[in-house]
């Protein structure tokens, strides 16, 4: 079956602009996670959704970052007033429930110039 998909695969933007990154989880998966991977490091947790609600957003670095999952399926990560330090690969993962294995999408590579 289809895995987790993310769009766009690459995004180049200028400092100060707004970006939206989309995640389409595996059908039927109730748990959805966003992670960020900087060059040479492992992924770092950003936010977790159970259904439509953000159950844990403790990993969001500041209030420029926001995510939604209005219908409990597709999620959008929104970054306002982008900074060069936001450049990273943004990974989305989903799992059937919070206790099941997380399956990752291919990521969106964001470059802020």
Which one among 21, 26, 31, 110 touches other proteins, defined by CB under 8 A? 31
Q: List the strands of the sheet with 5-7, edge to edge.
A: 5-7, 19-24, 75-79, 65-68
Which one among 11, 68, 74, 103 touches other proteins, defined by CB under 8 A? 103
Tell whether residue 28 is a contact of other proteins (CB under 8 A): no
Touching other proteins, residues 75-94 (CB under 8 A): 91, 93
Reduced to 3 states, what is the DSSP secondary structure of residue 85? Answer: helix
> Quick one: tokens of 91?
């990974």
Residues in the interface with other proteins (CB under 8 A) total 26
């Amino acid at each position: 079956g289809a895995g987790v998909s993310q769009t766009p695969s690459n995004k180049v933007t200028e400092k100060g602009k707004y970006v939206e990154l989309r995640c389409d989880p595996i059908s039927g998966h109730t748990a959805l996670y966003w992670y960020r991977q900087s060059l040479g490091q492992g992924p770092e947790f950003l936010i977790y959704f159970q259904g439509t609600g953000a159950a844990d957003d403790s990993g969001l670095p500041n209030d420029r970052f926001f995510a939604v999952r209005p219908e409990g399926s597709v999620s959008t990560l929104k970054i306002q007033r982008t900074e060069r330090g936001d450049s990273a690969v943004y990974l989305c993962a989903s799992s059937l429930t919070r206790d099941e294995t997380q399956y990752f999408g291919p990521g969106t590579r964001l470059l802020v110039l």
